[in-house]
Amino acid sequence: MSADTPRRIVLLRHAKAEWSQQSDHERPLAERGRKDAPVAGRRLADSGTEFDLALCSTATRTRETWKLAVHEFPQRPRTVYEERLYDASVGELIALFNETSDDVGSLLVIGHNPGMHGAADALSGKAEGEALTRMTRDGFPTAAYAVVEFSGSWKSLEHGVGTLVDYWTPND
């Protein structure tokens, strides 16, 4: 895959979590989250994108979201559980994405807010259709995802280089 190949990054926020006495990192999905995660997975599977790699936060709610969502996929992508996704800033997320191998064309990231929303907003210099208007209006609720496309190597991914091509929430 050449460095100027079109690439796709999907930023998926974990599904709705319970508020519990456990540490934030260990919070499990709530009943609504267990319903929304497979719906998000089905929507992603129906998009036809075959993911080369999934990066998933190590938090309980992100791992549970991924486990429920990936069951909807025709083929499970290689998955890396990445501690640095938890509580990451936009700059830390972009630095992490820059480490992606250039043989990856489509990357799925299962993470947290405000990072997922911030990264989608920061990477998107342009937007197609109503995606940006809807993302701005709706925020980035649990189990929502944004799809950003760009050309170039993962090392060249930076603020404003991408196009927001899709945005979806469980309420759609």
pLDDT band at 52 (very low <50, low <70, confident <90, very high): very high
Per the prediction, the chain carries an average pLDDT of 95
Does 50 have pLDDT greater than 90?
Answer: yes
Spatial distance between the Cα atoms of 86 and 156, rounded to a whole number of angstroms: 23
Domain boundaries, the chain: 6-168
The pLDDT of residue 2: 57
Q: So what's the architecture of 6-168 in CATH?
A: 3-Layer(aba) Sandwich (3.40)
The pLDDT of residue 73: 96
The pLDDT of residue 30: 97
For residue 55, the SS3 value is strand
The DSSP H or E segment spanning 6 is strand 6-13
20-45: burial string, b at 16+ Cβ within 10 Å, e else? eeeeeeebebbeebeebbbbbbebbb
Contact 81, 53 (CB under 8 A): no
Does 142 have pLDDT greater than 60?
Answer: yes
127-136 pLDDT, tens digit each: 999 999 999 9
Contact 117, 139 (CB under 8 A): yes
Q: Once rounded to an integer, what is the mean pLDDT over residues 82-104?
A: 97
